[in-house]
Amino acid sequence: MDCIQLTGIRCYGYTGYLPEEQLLGQWFEVDLSLWLDLSPAGKSDAIEDTLDYRSVIATVQQLVKTSKFALVEKLADAIAQAILQFDRVSQVQVKLSKPAAPIPDFGGKITIDITRENQHS
C-alpha cells in the first residue's frame, strides 16, 4: 500500500476541555498519513487517478476551525472519519497537536496519534 503524507497543517480552533479554550481558541497542528493505491496515478499521470490532497487539507482546516469538542481525541477521530470518506483512502493516521496547551509550567506540546481503517474498502 502506498502513502501520502501531509504535514504541518496549522489552523486555529476551539476544541479544549477548559471553557477558555472553547471561547478564545488556540492553534492546532495536524499531520496526516493517507494509505491508498497510487499505482493508477503513477501510470496515467492524471489527477483523477489519485487523491486531490487540497480537498483533504480543506476538510481538516474546516473541522478544526468549526468544531467545539471538549477533547482533542474527539477532534482527531472526527478528522479521521472525514478523511476516510474520500474514495481512495483505505487507512489514515492523524497526529493532532496542541503546541501551546494551557498547562502551567509546561512548554511542550500535546499530540494525539490515531490510526483508523476504512471498513468499506
Per-residue pLDDT of the chain (121 residues; tens, 9 = 90+): 899 999 999 999 999 999 999 999 999 999 999 999 999 999 999 999 999 999 999 999 999 999 999 999 999 999 999 999 998 999 999 999 999 888 889 989 999 999 999 986 5
| Catalytic (active site) residue 98 | yes
Residue 103, classed as helix, strand or coil, is: coil
| Record: fold of 2-117 | GTP Cyclohydrolase I, domain 2 (3.30.1130)
pTM: 0.94
How large is the angle between the packed helices 53-66 and 72-83, nearest 10 degrees? 150
Q: Side by side, which strands form the sheet with 91-98?
A: 2-13, 26-36, 91-98, 110-117
Task: Indicate the domain borders of the chain.
Answer: 2-117
- Of the residues 43, 74, 95, 98, which is catalytic? 98
Query: Of 113, 107, 33, whose CA–CA distance to 73 is shortest?
Result: 113
